[in-house]
Amino acid sequence: AQLANQIAAGEVVERPASVVKELVENSLDAGADQIDIEIEKGGHKRILIRDNGKGIARDELGLALSRHATSKIGTLDDLECIVSLGFRGEALASVSSVARLILTSRPPNQSEAWQARAEGRDMAVDIQPAAHPVGTTVDVVDLFYNTPARRKFLRTEKTEFQHIDEVLRRIALSRFDVAFSLKHNGKVLRRFPRCNSEDTRLKRVATIAGNEFAQQALVIHSDYQSLKLDGWLLPPQLARAQNDGQYVYVNGRMMRDKLIYHAIRQAFEGLVDEQRYPAFVLFLSLDADQVDVNVHPAKHEVRFHQARLVHDFIYRALDDVLQHNLT
Ligand code: ADP
Ligand code: MG
């Protein structure tokens, strides 16, 4: 079991930031609206994620740590229509095969918390009572302690932390309704309060994508049948400085999808010189059964059932706004 898990870990757990991404997605899937992240030494030493989500019952703790155990997909039909961020049941098993992982949790209907850790080669799970409010804490210590080859690929503490920060920025942009905090070596470096107004949302956008972006970007808001595109777009000619943020979400999931980038480039054709890039934060939403997210292990890419339609919809939505504001 250990070896199979370590092989799977190669796909999911590339570096500390990928652990943070998987664990925060689990917290979001659990319905948390407060997620606190504590990092030590760029994540080499410790990655701790605490949430106030629905928790994991005592009897399910061992299962949560085992491979291909997911509570999110019950049938093959569900695979056609994925609404949760996770669905492979691999993250916790993978992480616990390459680090010391302690899972502590309490669901609302359980009077005390329980703590589980996977131990030894056979990953037997040891379960103990613990103190914890409703929600879950995942504590990942000594990442890659047992896979020296992997550890060698880790960059400096500072670089790994920057990757973690970028993961948080991307996720924070997709969930304005959730509060996040991020600590590094005991110091709070980011605090995103919950946003309950357009004003507070723009404030978060300004923190993440920059003040100029938040003030100057064109608002995108378009729909066609079940397709919806919302967000902000800053053409370089409306900006003084180069704005680098390029954030794309499909049904709340962050993406680097080729088709979408192609549509964006096409909308800008002839409108920007090659030296400067547009910045954007775009949210595409469509029916979950119109998109296949089960394509890429890290889930960066999707497959649209009606690719042409999606492409042209995005192109038109952006082209409309650009023609209107730039010519
Ligand atoms: P997946 O997210 O693909 O289902 P994971 O290995 O990431 O697989 O998690 C396994 C299971 O553990 C999840 O399906 C869920 O039931 C449970 N779980 C993990 N993290 C949390 C959390 N923060 N809160 C509640 N349940 C969790
Ligand atoms: Mg998961």
State the closest ligand 1 atom to the C-alpha of 54, by its place in the atom list counted from 1.
25
- Count up the domains in the chain and report the number: 2
Cβ atoms within 10 Å of 161's Cβ, excluding its own: 23
171 and 281 in a common domain: no
CB-facing half-sphere around the CA of 209: CA atoms within 13 A: 32
Nearest CA to ligand 1 atom 8: 89
Q: Strands 113-119, 124-130: parallel, antiparallel or unpaired by DSSP?
A: antiparallel
Whether ligand 1 lies within 6 angstroms of the CB of 30 is answered as yes
Domain with 150 in it: what CATH number?
A: 3.30.565.10
115 and 176 in a common domain: yes
50 and 122 in a common domain: yes
One digit per residue, the tens of pLDDT, for the chain of length 327 reads 566 666 556 566 889 999 999 999 999 999 999 999 999 999 999 999 999 999 999 999 988 888 765 665 555 555 555 566 665 668 898 899 899 999 999 999 999 999 999 876 667 789 999 999 999 999 999 999 988 888 888 889 999 999 999 999 999 999 999 999 999 999 999 999 999 998 999 999 999 999 999 999 999 999 999 999 999 999 988 888 777 789 999 998 888 888 999 999 999 887 776 677 899 999 999 998 898 876 665 567 788 999 999 999 999 999 999 999 987
Range of the domain at 215: 209-326
Is 0.80 topped by the overall pTM? yes
Whether ligand 1 lies within 6 angstroms of the CB of 34 is answered as no
Instruction: Tell whether 204 is covered by a domain.
Output: no
Q: What ipTM describes this predicted complex?
A: 0.98
Query: Phi-psi region for residue 203, left (φ > 0), alpha (ψ -120 to 50) or beta?
Result: alpha
